[in-house]
Amino acid sequence: MESSNSKGGIGTLQLLPPEIRNSIFTNLNNPSLKSLRLTCSNLGRTVPLNIDRVFISANSLNIQVFRIVADNEKYRHKVTEIIWDDARLSEGPKEPEEPEMMEVDQVIPEGLEVPEDIDEVPEPLDPNEVVASNGCPRWFTQRSADNGVGINNFDPPDDSMGFAQSWDYYKALLEDQREILESNQDIQAFQYGLQRFPNLKRVTITPSTHGRIGQPMFETPMIRAFPPGFTYPLPRPWPYHGLDVFLLTDIPWASATPGHEEEISYWRGFRVVTRALVEYEKFHRVTELIIGGREIMTGVNCHVFDQRCKEYNDLARLLTRPGFSRLDLDLQTFEIERDGIGWKSYRTGLLREALAQAKDLRHLSLRTTTDTKDPFWWIAQLPTTGTIPDRTIPLRMVLPLEDWPNLQHFGISNMLVTTRDLISVLTDLPRSLRSVELSNLAFDGDCWRGLLNEMLAKLDWRTRPVGERPTVHIPIATLYRTFDFGLYVDLDNAVSSFLYEDGENPFPDPTGLHNSEAHLIPRGIVGTERDFFDPDFSAPYEFTDKSEL
């Protein structure tokens, strides 16, 4: 007898009245809908496609699918988000100073010496040396094997194509990418989409699309089309901080030096998308802008805010749009805390001026790449000239709190702060506030435990009606890992218990400790492990007692 799951079978779901089926479908996410469509041919015709976002990048398949949706009268009205995938595939090392070509005395940080037991330093390998009969270069195999960021923990899948076959497929992708970039077909398609998606409200620009090998952040048409076992260097188009980067060269935004235009072209997506949003502002209703990158320790160049420029003006104009409600801004901050002036990109006031234009802002997330892994030694290394506030982020130089009377979400990440300044900011946030994210902060003269104690003592949040109390989200790195790997733990329940009930402060007293206090949370405190690249992943996480370290 034919199964209900076979091609012509009639299952229980299909026997339900259409209005009940449609009610069920509207409560399912896209992966669940996809699974249902694959169950049998009848459901393949019955289950609706839920296309609410489209992808665009320097890839002809992504552009083709984008335009098909834009030209479809049924589906174009459902699109509310465009994701600009700025993760351009690597063409290989451009300069001899890249890590593959560095001498040991170049990659060892200043002040450290080569270990005495190393008698001689091997000559650096030529990354362009051909290592396979089909012309596969060494850099391709090296970067494929180390996940693209110098982390030598790659375990090839059982069905791996091998580097030579992968290189053949990769070469075709590169040629396609070159043609798209030369002709600007991706920009033209984006401009077309702004005119074709009447319900578009959000644009996301991200270099993090490919996530980890086998676990992309977004499954774009290009990525879904990869053959099984395809191995390739993960794209890192924007300059990034990582375990394989000892020193990231500062890249000014405005400069007359030769080759400067090529340097800022790393951030091509940011530049062309903000330009198009301004040029076509009469054709779209975009009120949310997400500029990502923090997932892979990068962001848009903070020096955009050093002085007025075309890109700054475009961003600021977008923020003036009536009803503009959300900004997620990830900044590559290099080492601006050591720039001689101290936080120049913040002190110019241009970032604050731009943010002040968003009078209807409901959601703000400001994440940087400033190193805050170990505040006990990091802050001690900062310039000692001036007063202590010069060594921390001047929050009110960046945040025009008085211009956001309806703010509902406030988030900052990777900033050096004082508890007093942060408490002052939290106190002045409007009553509309419903969530706060404080991530990877370093405190001058204090700690996470002290911050939570001050929040409990100084804020009136506990006295508010339950439905009006802000949820406090404090994601921290897991033990023996860093955010570089994409995994983190949230302590939402423990923090909520402390602030709003009678729970204990989850953070220990760090007095005398030389490790990050987040790693010393006592056993018995259970958080939830999560993954930047897999929003559906969650698992209980119990912290290790400090006596076990």
Give the residue, 124 or 286, on which the prediction is more confident: 286
Angle, vertex CA 413, rays to CA 108 and CA 348, nearest 5: 85
Task: Say yes or no to pLDDT of 470 above 90.
Answer: yes
pLDDT of amino acid 114: 47
Give the DSSP H/E element, type plus range, for residue 353: helix 350-355
- Highest averaged pLDDT of the listed ranges 42-51, 111-120, 449-458: 449-458
pTM, full prediction: 0.86
Task: Say yes or no to pLDDT of 282 above 70.
Answer: yes
Q: Determine the average pLDDT of the residues in 503-523.
A: 69
CA nearest 60: which of 174, 201, 198? 174
Task: Say yes or no to pLDDT of 122 above 70.
Answer: no
Q: Determine the average pLDDT of the residues in 20-27.
A: 74
Residue 213 identity: I
Q: Determine the average pLDDT of the residues in 322-345.
A: 88
CA dihedral 353, 357, 358, 364 (to 10 degrees): 0
Of 6-20, 252-266, 343-357, 475-489, which gets the smallest average pLDDT? Answer: 6-20
For 196-249, how does the pLDDT look when each residue is reduced to its tens digit (9 = 90+)?
999 999 999 999 999 988 889 999 999 999 999 999 999 989 998 765 554 567
Q: Determine the average pLDDT of the residues in 435-443.
A: 93
Tell me how crowded residue 329 is: count the other CB atoms within 10 A of its CB. Answer: 22
Q: Above pLDDT 70, what percent of the chain? A: 78
Q: Determine the average pLDDT of the residues in 485-510.
A: 89
Q: Determine the average pLDDT of the residues in 371-395.
A: 59
Of 116-120, 299-303, 338-342, which gets the smallest average pLDDT? Answer: 116-120
Task: Say yes or no to pLDDT of 143 above 90.
Answer: no
DSSP 324: -
Angle, vertex CA 30, rays to CA 33 and CA 50, nearest 5: 85
The terminus-to-terminus CA distance of the chain in angstroms comes to 61
Mean pLDDT of the chain: 83
pLDDT of amino acid 376: 44
Q: Determine the average pLDDT of the residues in 453-459.
A: 98
pLDDT of amino acid 127: 73
**Residue owning tokens 């834009």:** 70
Task: Say yes or no to pLDDT of 458 above 90.
Answer: yes
For 62-96, how does the pLDDT look when each residue is reduced to its tens digit (9 = 90+)?
999 999 999 999 999 999 999 999 999 999 886 54
CA nearest 52: which of 216, 202, 187? 202
pLDDT of amino acid 99: 40
Task: Say yes or no to pLDDT of 488 above 70.
Answer: yes
Enter the tokens of residue 311. Answer: 């890109």
CA nearest 422: which of 405, 404, 439? 439
pLDDT of amino acid 154: 52
- Highest averaged pLDDT of the listed ranges 6-15, 34-43, 244-253, 272-281: 272-281
Q: Determine the average pLDDT of the residues in 466-475.
A: 96
pLDDT of amino acid 374: 56
Q: What are phi and psi of 469, to 5 degrees?
A: -80, 130
CA 169/CA 332 separation, integer angstroms: 32
Task: Say yes or no to pLDDT of 428 above 70.
Answer: yes
